[in-house]
Amino acid sequence: MEYVTLVNRSSKTLEGVWDGRHYDLKPGKHSFPEAMAMKFKDQNPIMGTEDPMSLQRQHLIGIEEFGDNCSPIEQSTAPVMNAGTLEKIRKGELILVRADHPFNRIVDSAPSPFAVASDGKTDTSFVKP
């Protein structure tokens, strides 16, 4: 059984489940067997970051031995995309914002009219016709 270094990249305690046991993962480094660390990573994605083409996600947990990004990062606070938020997008109450990856779309609350920006920020030049 090979142990790896798991890094909780966030500032909050995360939870991982393996063999029916719930583990509290405090911010910082921990040592776990590889299979457990991989599962914990999978259980803690940054919501809204899945690439629909490659299905790759960003995670709040990195594994040093795998060369993962272990720099600090926090969970997305964007509303969960579901039927309710889709309806709000239609009404212009929520706005689609482009995230880091070109395929990603996350929903962010915004007072401005419906617009899609190219730089990850609200397009202030957009004028509603």
Partner 1 sequence: MAGADKQALDAIFKEVFEEGVAEGVNNKNPLRDVIKTERVPFRGREIVRLSHTGRNVSPMFVGEDSAFADAGNQSYSRMFVDQRKLMSRLRMTWEVMQDSTSNEGAFISARKSEMQYLIDDMARRDEYALNSEGRGILALVDDSNPDGDTTLTVDAPGGITNDNFGNRFMSKGMYIAFVNPANGVLRTQGAIAAKITGVSNDGTSVTLNNNLIGTDVADSDYIVQAANSATSDILDTSYEHAWWGVMALVDDGTYRASYFGLDRTQVPAYSSYVTASTGPLSTDLIQRVGDIVDQKLNGKISMMLAHHSTRRLIIQLTDQDRRYMGASLLRPDPGTVAFKQGDLPFGDVPIRALRDFPLDVLMFLDLNNAGFREYVSEPGKWVDEDGSVLWRVGTGTAGRDAFEAWYRMRKQYFLEYPAYCARLDGVTGQSLVVQRAAGS
Kindly list the residues in this chain that would bind partner 1 in the complex (CB under 8 A): 15, 17-22, 24, 35, 39, 42-45, 47, 50, 52, 80-83
| Shortest distance, position 72 Cβ to partner 1, whole Å | 20
Closest by alpha carbon to 49, among 96, 108, 110, 100? 100
| Shortest distance, position 126 Cβ to partner 1, whole Å | 26
Closest by alpha carbon to 97, among 68, 60, 122? 122
For partner 1, the closer CB: 70 or 81: 81
For partner 1, the closer CB: 76 or 95: 76
| Shortest distance, position 27 Cβ to partner 1, whole Å | 17
For partner 1, the closer CB: 23 or 114: 23
| Gyration radius (Cα) of the chain, Å | 18
Determine contact, residues 52/59, Cβ cutoff 8 Å.
no
Distances (CA, A) of 45 to 56, 93, 96, 109: 10, 26, 20, 21
For partner 1, the closer CB: 37 or 97: 37
